Structures are given as C-alpha cells and as structure tokens.
Amino acid sequence: MGLLYQIFIDPFVQMATAPDLFVQTLWEGLVGGMLYALIALGFVLIFKASGVFNFAQGIMVVFAALTLVGLYDAGLPAFVALGLTIVVMFLLAFTVERAVLRPLVNQPDIILFMATFGITYFLIGFGEFVFGGDPKVMVTDGLFLPKGAITYKALGGIVQLQKLDIVAAITATIMVAVLGVFFSKTRIGRALRAVADSHSAALSVGISLEQIWVIVWFAAGLVALVTGIFWGARSDVSFALEVIALKALPVLILGGFTSIPGAIVGGLIIGVGEKLGEFYWGPLVGGGTDAWFAYVIALVFLLFRPQGLFGETIIERV
Amino acid sequence: MLYREAGQFKTSYASDFAVFPILQDRIGIAVILAFAFVIIPLTGNDFLVNAVMIPFLIFSLAAIGLNLLTGYTGLLSLGTGAFMGVGAYACYKLTTIFPNVNIIIWVVASGFFSAAVGAIFGLPSLRIKGFYLAIATLAAQFFLEWCFIRIPWLYNNNVSGAIEVPQRELLNIIITGPRATAQTRYYIVLGVVVLMTWVASNLVHGRIGRMWMAVRDMDIAAELMGIRLLPTKLLAFAVSSFYCGVAGALMVFFWYGGSEASVFNINQSFTILFMIIIGGLGSLLGSFLGAALIYVLPIILRFVPPALGLPLQAATIEHITFMVVGILIVFFLIVEPAGLARLWLIGKQKLRVWPFPY
Amino acid sequence: MRAPGGPEVAAGEVLLSVENVSLSFGGVKAVSDVSFDIRKGEIRAIIGPNGAGKTSMLNIINGFYRPQQGRITFKGEARAKMRPHEAATGGIARTFQNVALFRGMTALDNIMAGRTLKMHSNFFWQLLRYGPAMQEEVEHRRSVEEIIDFLKIQEIRRVPVGRLPYGLQKRVELGRALAMEPELLLLDEPMAGMNLEEKEDMSRFVLDANDYYGTTIALIEHDMGVVMDLSDRVVVLDHGIKIADGTPDEVKRNQAVIDAYLGVAH
C-alpha cells in the first residue's frame, strides 16, 4: 500500500505543494529537451534528404564545438573562430560527400548507416588527435552569450531561468523556423524533398544529388554547431556529449524520422519526461534514471504507435 | 590445382549436407584446430596468449552471438554489452553463492540467465520492426547498465562497485583467479569457444538457421510458410544472448580477473557490432575475422610506432587507432559490404581455379 | 499428398469460398461484396484489369488482409478472417507478384524452407545436428529433390536466388510453394515478365502440379491465352466487383467482361 502511494500519489502531491520547484524542473526539462531536439533536427535534415541515418550527428556536435574552442584558444577573436568553424563544417560536408556518400550511392540504407559509424570513429580519433581529450570550456563572452539568471518570485517560491537557456531557446526557435521556411518555400528546399522521396526520380529531373547532399550535410553541420555552442556553454565540451546524442533516437521515435516539427515536439516531450521522471520518481529507485528513461518512453510509444507522432503510417505492400 | 573438388562425389544427401563438404576444407579446419590446441600453447609467450588469443576467442564468441541475431535473423541489436554483463554478473553471483560447484558449469548456466533476459527484451519484436527494434535493445543496454551499478547485491555489496574473481579449480588445477596461468585459462576458453562454435554451426545449417534467415529476408513470406514470427525471433534473442552471456562470463573470469559495470557499456555493444559488420553479417567465419581485425589490429598498431622508432604517446596511438578503424569501416563498406567473409569466399573461389584465371 | 488437419474434401466439392467479402483501405474500396468459390482439384483463374482487387483477394484468402465484411470458408470451417499461420497449416501456399524469395539463401535452401512446417525434430537435436535432426534433413531433402526434378532446376540448386534470372526465380518460388504440399495453391501472376517459351514451361508445371499432385490452383493471370487454356473456371473482377463467373468460354463471351477488360471478343 505504501509503495503504491509512493509511486502514484506522492509525486503529484509534491508537484502541487511546491509549484515553484515543479515549474523549475519543467523549465529545465524543456531546455534539455530543446537541445535533444536540435540534435534530432540534424538527423532529420540528413534523413529527409538522403535516407541516411547519420549516426555521426552526435560527434559532429562535439567536433564543431571543439573546433570553435580550439580556434578561440589559439588566439583568434570569437567571431573569426566562429566563421572559420563554419568553413570547417562545410569542408567536412564536402569530404563526407566525396569520400563516403558518392562511392556508396546505390547501396542499401543499412550500409550507409554503418558507414556513418565509420565517420563517427574517425571524427572521434581525429578530434582527440587535434584537440586533445580533456574537457574544454565553451566560448561565451566572445560570442556575447549572457551569463547569470533571471529570478522570479512566483508560485510561493523562486523560479530561476538561466539567461543562456532563454537565448538558446530563442535561437533554436529561429533556426527551426528558418529551416522550415527553407524546406517548403525555396527551390533548393523543394529539391531536397524530391531527393528524399526518390534518388532516381530526382536525378531524372536534373537535380544534382551531390550538390544536395553537400548542402544538407552542411546544414546539419550548422545545426550541430549551434547545438554544440549552447550545450558546451551549459556544461563543458567533452566527448561524453557523443553518448548524449544517442538520446536523440527516442526523440526521433516520438517525432518521426522525417518531420522537423516532430523533432521539436519529440525533443520537448522526452526532455520534460526525463527530467520530471528523475526528479519525482528517481529517488524511489536510487536515482540515475535519466540514463534510460528516455528509451523506455520511446519503447512504450513504439508499442502503441510504431510510426511516431508525426511519421507516416507504414503500409506494407505485398 | 590444389583446391579442387573434382573427384569428390557425394553419394548420399547426408554427406552433401556436411558443413565442410570439400576435403581440403576439412584438412584446413584440422590444421587450424591443431594450431590452436597444440602449437600456440607450446610456443606462444604469455603476452600472446593472455592479451591476444584469449580476448580474440572471447570476442569471437560474442560476435557469433550478435551475428546470430543481427546477421542471420536480421534483428539489429545494440544491447550486446549489457547481455554480456548479465552473464558475467550471473556467473559471479552463482559462484559466490555456491562456491563448490565447478565454475565451468556456472559459466554455462549464466548463459541461460542472459538468454532469459534477452528473450524478455526481445518481446517488443512482436510489434516493432527493423531499425526501431534497435531502440528496445538500447533501452535494454542502458537499463541493465544502470542495474549493474544500482543493485549492490549483484557485486556482493563491494564498496568499490567492482567484482573480483575468486580462485576456482578444476581437477586440482587452478583455473580462475590471480594464480591461474595463462595457458590453463586459454585451454578452457578455447574449449568452450570451439564447442559453442560447433553448436552454432549446427543450428545455422539446419531448420532453425533457415527459419531465422527467412525471417530476415522476407518475414511476410516466412509467415506464409508456417514460420511463426514471434517464437522464431525470441529464439534468436535467447540463443544470441546465451552466447553473449557466456562470452561475458568468460571475459570476467578467464581474462580480466575482475570487472566493473563500465566494461559492459554501449561502446562494448558497438565494438561487437563493428566486428560483425566488417567480418561479415550472417557468417560464422566472419565473426572470427571481424573480431581479429577489430581487436588485434589496434594491438598491432600499438607496436608499429615504437618499432619504427616514432616516439608517440599511448594516447596518440589510441586516437590514430580510432581514425584507422573509422577509415577501415568505410573502406570495407565501399569495397565489400558483405565483409571479410565474402572476401574470403571470393579468395577461395579464385583458389579453386588457380592457376587459371577463371 | 495431404495437408495436415481439417476434414477431407472430396474432389469437386467446394474447398474454399468467400462470401460477401469487402475490403477497404482508408477511403479506397479494394473489394466490394465479392463471392465465389473454388472447388477441389480445379484450376480457377481470377482475372480483371489492373486495380481490380485480384491481389487483394489473394491476400484476404491467405490472411494478410482482414476484410471488413464477409466470411471465408475453408474446408468447411467459416471464419471472418484467416490468419497467415492458419492458412499455412491448413494447406494454403502462395507465390507473389514480385517474387518473395529469401534472397540471402540458395534455391535449395529456399525450397527446404518450404518444408519447415513438416519438420519437427526438437531443438536439442538441432543443436547437435545428429540423429533425428539429420534424418529429417535427409528425408525432406528427398522430397525437395523430387520437386527440383519436376521443375528442372537441378543446376541452380546452390545458386543464391538473388543472382538468378527472373524466370528461374519464379520457378524456384513455385517450388517453394509446392514443397509445402499444399491443398490450395495461390499463384499471383506466375507468368508475368516471361517470354513465350518460359510461359509454356510454366503452364506445363502448373498443369502437372494440378494433375500429378492433385493441387487445387487459383491463379491471377493477364495472358488470356494462358487463362483460356489452363483454367477450369474463371472469375472476373473489375474495380473490386465481380462481373462474371463461369467456364472460360462463358466468360469470354460475356458482354460485361468484353467491355471492361477484353476489348475485343477473343
């Protein structure tokens, strides 16, 4: 009886009696979720345009952040470092297209997926080789990112919102909006969607697959850079970030693999679910549930709706 | 001229069904086994045996396990590390609770625990397919890893969270623990791996292997043939996890001598996955080749710079290894997506007609 | 050759019937209120223009689709929906329009896979590949070799099916279906994409399967020559509705059929 109370009643009582804590936790969940969403966004971009599930997205986040910090630490002014990092991400996209995507162009998707494992390994080694393996501090002042928090007295207590988080949220929203418009309104965006549907059909109307892929990997690289900046600013740049990228998978399950709004909604749900779960239910089992809670959420979801919230229903034709 | 099957006729279906129908293949296997059982222990130094052969065999076993699930049945699994861990911890608990029972029995028994856990996490395969199923295995991986840390009973409430292997004997020879010799441990591991490889071979060449491959290739048609999907998939999960569990137990008891939860993390899962990708999905030989390449190569790489006189730090060599592995993965996928096993088959094919070009 | 289970159906009696079956996907009605039967021992053709619902009909019969209305009666047992596993154990086998072979396996293994339902040696013997497991493999290999001889595909036994030309793939698929020793064999456009010689071979195999093995056959086919020559009775579908049902002669003179499908009196 006591156990049932602890699981089903008590957490909600806690939420109700300390609403400021609840809102605080909720906010932190939203911020975390938003960062997951950004990583998922990178996946969606590449998947939408090439059908490739880019396992290397996580390491691209780390790599972008490392490059930025590395250049800044070497003495370059922040915005110059930023500009150079963007160039580096472009070069990366170009190299990946040339060295990996082009030779594998007609292979089944699973082969391409495995190739992204190879890219991941390579970037881990390369990143560690060039920048060293210890955690680094993200550039904040140079990029005019704010420090400190805004404190509200509300709901009987205190709610603190980190200014950085607010800026991150705004930036992410703008980026998603821009990408959304880009995909639906511009010529290149249309071409990207055509390529996602069918490579051969796109080729037959004269769309250059190679150019599209470079563009899309570059876009994903930019998303990775923004993600890396904000994530690194919240908690150091290190290779542990790479495993966090795996959390994007549950996000994609929820949101569908090809939907930009889906990635956002999915990310927020996972972020909030994970945070609330750990804060209110975690203590019952010794904590640390955020290591696996997201996956269990995704799993339960899959059992009821295998295509996610926004994905297309899979129809198998015989 | 050497590798020809001309003149070797099969006079019964049974002989046609043999796993190694060609005489030269049988000789080849005999040679390899003789090498493994006799020559290596006699001539190899402790380092070779301890740091190369034993882990190579253990990883091959885990690779076979994963290959049965992912290569033969087509169910992508990212939970290999955790399933290996289940075997290791099960073995530890069993031998500390019942210290008088032979440790090898517990190693095999721990496989059953792993199989049960694997089957449970395989249940979602009823509703979920393909890539999405990998998420279920990821859930298994992270959840079980969390269990290994948060359930102190598993490591006998040891303060450090690690487990230490107690000394055990077989026929009055010490086989586990700090005093067991490399030679002894090698023989045990070799024996277990050879036996289990033989069993895996039996399975995949018969009815069950065909059922698994049918589910992999076209499950709709398989259903129509009367193959029940869920039991077949669960069997694949169970057998695969059995192999991984035994590999995990061997790893802790006959190689490391101890362990902690981080050994069985997601990186372990990925490592084994790469082994079967490069080695060849759906091939037992490929499991061995992949394990050899992914495990042995970094060791070799570690020796190259000093041999060439380059003063590189260990960490740098590690980084370079990552880069080389990454490049190799992409290279193999471009050149031969079916892995080293296919390259081997092509090589044999050429050998058959040698010295003629075709 | 008999499939396990179920009451015996005498030649000429109804083996399978569909009654008032309707099927829709979302808003699209694939099959509307269709009823027909298949008698044991006959060759029944299902014809009609593209999109008429023929493949959907086969899918309903072997349990991949569940009709919203109607019943399926097989060997005397009526049910609202067939399950694929029930269909298999009941003795229904099938080939597919797009050749659903197991591409990772050889032709021999594919056909051996068709024998799965008949192999019962338990797991323990499978682990050892000895004793009952080995005896079973040999015994079923014998039956499979009969089928291989029947279809004249001896040379390609060990070839991975992905490498075979289309015509041979279809033959292997037929072999796999025959390996199940089915009472009812559903063939979905078995002659599609074949040249004249291949069609003649395939027609011969279909007729022989019906003659020699006594297998009841339902086939979807577009080649009217084949349909007229092979089948005992024909049912014609158009836009999901049955527009004719009878012997080939009756059907080819039917005005509705000529208008919808044949164009000119054949």
Q: Is the pLDDT of residue A97 over 80?
A: yes
Residues of A with CB under 8 A from a CB of C: 315, 318
pTM of the predicted model as reported, rounded to 2 decimal places? 0.88
Report chain A's mean pLDDT, rounded to a whole number. Answer: 82
By CA distance, what is A253's nearest residue in B?
Answer: B132
Write out pLDDT tens, residues A229-247.
Answer: 888 887 777 776 667 778 8
By CA distance, what is B320's nearest residue in A?
Answer: A125
| Both tokens assigned to C190 | 């078995």
CB A150 within 8 A of CB A160: yes
Report chain C's mean pLDDT, rounded to a whole number. Answer: 87
Q: What is the maximum alpha-carbon separation in chain B?
A: 67
Enumerate the residues of chain A whose CB falls inside 8 A of the CB of residue B334: 103-104
Q: Is the pLDDT of residue B244 over 60?
A: yes
Question: Nearest Cβ partner of B225 from C103, C109, C180?
Answer: C180
Write out pLDDT tens, residues A246-296.
Answer: 888 888 888 888 788 888 888 999 999 888 888 888 887 877 888 888 888
Closest to B275 (Cα-Cα) out of B112, B124, B59: B59
State how far the Cα of A287 lies from the Cα of A273, in Å rounded to an integer. 15
One-letter amino acid for residue A127 of the chain: G
Q: What is the 3-state secondary structure (H, E, C) of A104-168?
A: CCCCCHHHHHHHHHHHHHHHHHHHHHHHCCCCECCCCCCCCCCCCEEEEEECCEEEEEEHHHHHH
State how far the Cα of B357 lies from the Cα of B305, in Å rounded to an integer. 39
Q: Which pLDDT value is given to residue C4?
A: 47
Q: What is the mean pLDDT of residues B310-331?
A: 80
Contacts of B99 (CB under 8 A, 6+ apart): B166, B168
- Count chain A–chain B contacts defined by CB atoms under 8 A: 118
Q: Which pLDDT value is given to residue A311?
A: 59
Closest to C94 (Cα-Cα) out of A316, A314, B216, A318: A318
Please tell me if residue C80 touches chain B, with a CB cutoff of 8 Å: no
Q: Is the pLDDT of residue A139 over 80?
A: no
Q: Is the pLDDT of residue C201 over 80?
A: yes
DSSP alpha helix (H) spans, chain B: 13-16, 23-34, 40-43, 46-47, 54-66, 80-97, 103-122, 130-150, 182-205, 207-217, 219-224, 229-251, 266-279, 284-291, 297-308, 314-335, 339-353
Does B79 or A14 have the greater pLDDT score?
A: B79
CB A57 within 8 A of CB A43: yes
Helix/strand number for chain C, H first, E second: 10, 10
CB B306 within 8 A of CB A88: no
Enumerate the residues of chain B whose CB falls inside 8 A of the CB of residue A53: 131
Cβ within 8 Å, pair A295-B129? no
By CA distance, what is B121's nearest residue in A?
Answer: A299
Does B44 or B184 have the greater pLDDT score?
A: B184
Pick from A114, A124, A130 the residue to mutate for testing the B interface (most B CBs within 10 Å).
A114
- The top-scoring range by mean pLDDT among A212-221, B35-44, B312-321 is A212-221
* pLDDT category of residue B131 using cuts at 50, 70 and 90: confident
Least confident of A141-150, B53-62, B335-344: A141-150
Enumerate the residues of chain A whose CB falls inside 8 A of the CB of residue C55: 318
Write out pLDDT tens, residues C215-228.
Answer: 999 999 988 888 88
Write out pLDDT tens, residues C63-73.
Answer: 888 899 899 99
Q: Which pLDDT value is given to residue A20?
A: 81
Q: Nearest C-alpha of chain C: how many angstroms from A199?
A: 21
One-letter amino acid for residue B347 of the chain: G
By CA distance, what is A313's nearest residue in C?
Answer: C26
* pLDDT category of residue B113 using cuts at 50, 70 and 90: very high
By CA distance, what is A106's nearest residue in B?
Answer: B334
* pLDDT category of residue C44 using cuts at 50, 70 and 90: very high
Q: Which pLDDT value is given to residue A19?
A: 80
Residues of B with CB under 8 A from a CB of A: 124, 127-129, 131-132, 135-136, 138-139, 142-143, 145-146, 149-150, 220, 266, 270, 273-274, 277, 315-316, 318-330, 333-334, 337
Q: Nearest C-alpha of chain B: how many angstroms from C127?
A: 5
Closest to C16 (Cα-Cα) out of C108, C79, C98: C79
Residues 117-146 of C with CB under 8 A from A: none
Pick from A121, A134, A239 the residue to mutate for testing the B interface (most B CBs within 10 Å).
A121
Does B13 or C153 have the greater pLDDT score?
A: C153
| Both tokens assigned to A313 | 């229903």
Touching chains, B (3+ CB pairs < 8 A):
A, C
Q: Is the pLDDT of residue A314 over 70?
A: no
State how far the Cα of B344 lies from the Cα of B286, in Å rounded to an integer. 9
Q: Please give the order of strands across the beta sheet that includes C77-79.
A: C28-39, C14-25, C69-74, C77-79
Least confident of B158-172, C188-202, C215-229, C244-258: B158-172
By CA distance, what is A318's nearest residue in C?
Answer: C96
State how far the Cα of A119 lies from the Cα of B58, in Å rounded to an integer. 27
Cβ within 8 Å, pair B207-C121? yes
Helix (H, G, I), strand (E, B) or coil at B282: coil
* Cβ neighbours, 10 Å, residue B246: 29
Q: Which pLDDT value is given to residue C3?
A: 44
Question: Nearest Cβ partner of C104 from B207, B216, B220?
Answer: B216
Does C96 or B351 have the greater pLDDT score?
A: C96
Element (H, E) at A44: helix A19-50
Please tell me if residue A306 touches chain B, with a CB cutoff of 8 Å: yes
Report chain B's mean pLDDT, rounded to a whole number. Answer: 86
Instruction: Supply the DSSP symbol for B12.
Output: S
Q: What are the CA-CA distances from residue B66 to residues A163, B112, B207 (Å)?
A: 47, 16, 19
Strand C216-220 relative to strand B168-170, pairing: unpaired
Helix (H, G, I), strand (E, B) or coil at C18: strand
CB A189 within 8 A of CB A183: yes
Q: Is the pLDDT of residue C119 over 80?
A: yes
State how far the Cα of C87 lies from the Cα of B221, in Å rounded to an integer. 12
| Both tokens assigned to B128 | 């979920």
Question: Nearest Cβ partner of A119 from B127, B277, B326?
Answer: B326
Q: Which pLDDT value is given to residue B5?
A: 61
CB C125 within 8 A of CB B202: no
* pLDDT category of residue B119 using cuts at 50, 70 and 90: very high
Q: Is the pLDDT of residue A315 over 60?
A: no
* Cβ neighbours, 10 Å, residue B254: 27
Please tell me if residue C256 touches chain A, with a CB cutoff of 8 Å: no
One-letter amino acid for residue B67 of the chain: N
Q: Nearest C-alpha of chain A: how many angstroms from C13?
A: 30
Element (H, E) at A220: helix A209-235
CB C112 within 8 A of CB C27: no
By CA distance, what is B205's nearest residue in C?
Answer: C129
Q: What is the mean pLDDT of residues B266-285?
A: 89
Enumerate the residues of chain B whose CB falls inside 8 A of the CB of residue A126: 319, 322-323
Q: Which pLDDT value is given to residue C264?
A: 61
| Both tokens assigned to A130 | 């060039």
Cβ within 8 Å, pair B226-C85? yes
State how far the Cα of A116 lies from the Cα of A99, in Å rounded to an integer. 12
By CA distance, what is C62's nearest residue in A?
Answer: A318
How far is the first Cα of chain C from the last one, in angstroms, to the nearest whole number?
Answer: 37
Please tell me if residue C62 touches chain A, with a CB cutoff of 8 Å: no
Enumerate the residues of chain A whose CB falls inside 8 A of the CB of residue C64: 318
Q: Nearest C-alpha of chain B: how many angstroms from C148?
A: 14
The residues facing C22 across adjacent strands are C69
Cβ within 8 Å, pair A114-B277? yes
Q: Which pLDDT value is given to residue A213?
A: 85
Q: What are the CA-CA distances from residue B91 to residues B175, B199, B258 (Å)?
A: 15, 21, 12
State how far the Cα of C235 lies from the Cα of C245, in Å rounded to an integer. 4
Q: How many residues appear in chain A? A: 318
Q: Which pLDDT value is given to residue C1?
A: 39
The residues facing C186 across adjacent strands are C94, C218
CB B280 within 8 A of CB B64: no
Q: Is the pLDDT of residue C199 over 70?
A: yes
Q: Nearest C-alpha of chain C: how many angstroms from A198?
A: 20
* pLDDT category of residue B358 using cuts at 50, 70 and 90: low
The phi, psi pair for B207, rounded to 5°, reads -60, -40
Q: Is the pLDDT of residue C6 over 60?
A: no
Helix (H, G, I), strand (E, B) or coil at A286: coil
Q: What is the mean pLDDT of residues C141-160?
A: 91
Cβ within 8 Å, pair B12-C138? yes
State how far the Cα of C76 lies from the Cα of C9, in Å rounded to an integer. 8
- For residue C47, the number of C-alpha atoms closer than 13 Å in the C-beta half-sphere is 27
Least confident of B319-333, C102-116, C187-201: B319-333
Q: Omega before B355 cis (within 30°)? A: yes
Q: Which pLDDT value is given to residue A180?
A: 79
Write out pLDDT tens, residues B24-64.
Answer: 777 888 888 888 888 777 777 777 777 888 999 999 999 99
* pLDDT category of residue A6 using cuts at 50, 70 and 90: confident
Please tell me if residue C187 touches chain A, with a CB cutoff of 8 Å: no
Q: What is the mean pLDDT of residues C80-101?
A: 88
Q: Is the pLDDT of residue A135 over 90?
A: no
Residues 60-99 of A with CB under 8 A from B: 99
Element (H, E) at B163: strand B163-164
Touching chains, C (3+ CB pairs < 8 A):
A, B
Share of chain A above pLDDT 90, in %: 5
Q: What are the CA-CA distances from residue C252 to residues B61, C247, C256, C261, C265 (Å)?
A: 64, 9, 10, 10, 7
